[in-house]
Amino acid sequence: MSILLDENTRVVVAGITGWQARAHTGFMREYGTNVVAGVVPGRAGEDCDGVPVYDSFATALEEHPADAAVLFVPAAAAAESAIEAAGAGVGMILVCAEGVPQHDVALMIAHARRAGVRLVGPNSQGIISPGRAKMGGTGGDLPVTNLLFRRGPVGVLSRSGGMGSETCWLLTREGVGQSTYVSVGGDAMVGAPFSELMPLFEEDPDTECVVLFGEPGSCAEEDAARLMGEGGFTKPVVAFIAGMVNESAPQGVSFGHAAAIIERGEGSPARKKALLREAGAAVVEDMREIPDAVRDALGAGFSRP
């Protein structure tokens, strides 16, 4: 099985006529994603490579019931688009834009929660359930997607889009497949952090282990450790926390994502590692150790192809 997305998920693409959205919509459809409509204000009645385009989510969903939306819109328009999608009844929203103003992020997260909608991102590379469907830019075109990802028993959650794909590739080349990979987003506030997605993997009978790719800053990893410590997640967890160099850098030096802020020890990689280990996670010091740690977690029942 998978979480969030499979071949039956009906997807609407906001901004579909833009060059990036158009390209990735083609990649998504080639992979098997069920894209039913696009939304671009002022472009109603157009056809984008066989996908009908509407002015709004409301009119699109009248003609094409949908389960999810992916937003290929500029950062300044992300909140308005997400709020519109939530109001139209879309169950899950993926926000790809980077640099969305924090007030807008807070606004879209609040609206999504009130509407009972799951919001992934902003600053998310995308979601893929290997062999089934993908949303966003994850994996690029079909040859690359098939190189990086394969179907299997490991859920992968990452704050970094690029390094999340790298994590999946490390697993794939060692014969370890993934159930679903989610790029949760690298901003300080995101709609679906680790602790909100891990329970979905807990309920998925085909996910046997979860890999977390963490980074300095925010409390995402600390919240995941707390969830594990409280018994809210019981499956094996393998974690890698990037950015140990941040702890020895001069104060005020900027690194990586907007959320990579360490303040008085809070959000430091060392603290995250310690809390995850205390909660029972296998924390590796080198990304290349992830596949072996996963095989150990899966136990004797798993054999490398």
Comparing C-alpha atoms, which of 167, 2, 168 is closest to residue 92? 2
Per-residue burial over 50-64, b = 16 or more CB atoms within 10 Å of its CB, e = otherwise: ebbbbebbeebbeeb
Does the annotation count 103 as an active-site position?
Answer: no
Amino acid present at 185: G
10 Å CB burial of residue 21 (0-12, 13-18, 19+) is buried
Comparing C-alpha atoms, which of 20, 23, 55 is closest to residue 37? 55
10 Å CB burial of residue 126 (0-12, 13-18, 19+) is buried
Q: Are 28 and 94 in contact (CB under 8 A)?
A: no
Pairing of strands 126-129, 178-183: antiparallel
Question: Which residue of the set 24, 64, 103, 257 is catalytic?
Answer: 257
Joined together, the tokens standing for residue 62 give 């009248």
Chain position carrying tokens 């891990």: 198
Rg from Cα positions in the chain: 19
Alpha-carbon distance 268 to 196, whole Å?
A: 21
How many Cβ atoms sit within 10 Å of the Cβ of residue 259?
Answer: 20
Alpha-carbon distance 153 to 141, whole Å?
A: 23
Alpha-carbon distance 71 to 94, whole Å?
A: 6
10 Å CB burial of residue 43 (0-12, 13-18, 19+) is middle
3-state secondary structure of 180: strand
Catalytic residue ranges:
257
